[in-house]
Structure 1
Amino acid sequence: MTFQHPSDRDGDRRGWFSRLAENASNFTSSPAFFGFCLVLVAVVITTHALKLPLEWLMLTGETMTAVTLLLLALLKNSERRAEHAIQRKLDAIAAALLEVQEREPGEAVRSLQEAIRMEEET
């Protein structure tokens, strides 16, 4: 187990969790997932309206809780990756501005170009 920033864990390549989180994030922002959530909420409301046995009520409630926890983990992972990408871009912009101000474009300008391309990778 590691406590590194999510974007630093896999080095230059993306690990299985990064790929899973990206795919899950894409799916959870789709109309299909919204439809799934509507159906799940309708099932919970129906179980309460029909006064089904306690086991059914607990099953639907626990299903909602599990979906919520999974979405929270995915949201936090995506948030941390976006935060890291923005910070790298801001650092590169600041360094490039200093180089331009000193009239010596060099490594920081290349770093800025790399950070801008990073948007396509994340």
Structure 2
Amino acid sequence: MTPCPRHTVMPGLDPGIHVPDVSRMRGGFVYILTNRPNGALYVGVTSDIVRRVFEHREGLADGFTARYGLKTLVHLERFDDIATAIQREKTVKHWSRAWKVALILNGNPAWRDLYDEIAR
């Protein structure tokens, strides 16, 4: 399979999901926000986690997170390159809600807000 010239396909990952060529970008983060324990969930990806979560918390990010008041950071994964983070975000977004909740509970059973730990 020949990928689109503007996209690369990461080996070992779903070839149907193309990731933009981001070889010159640094690491990335996959994160999950909620409005309360067992509430609505949002999965996102960013290269600047502190800035991005701040935008969600302050209502600067329009859309789903603003509509449902998703401001609590309950899960965070760091990756050395942004392409891997983007692929992971796409994978987690396709998971069932039960799998996402299990992911959160595995690392953060109290659903505590992790923002203060990363914003220092």
Q: Which has the larger radius of gyration?
A: 1
TM value normalised by structure 1: 0.22
TM value normalised by structure 2: 0.23
The structure whose residues are more often helix, as a share, is: 1
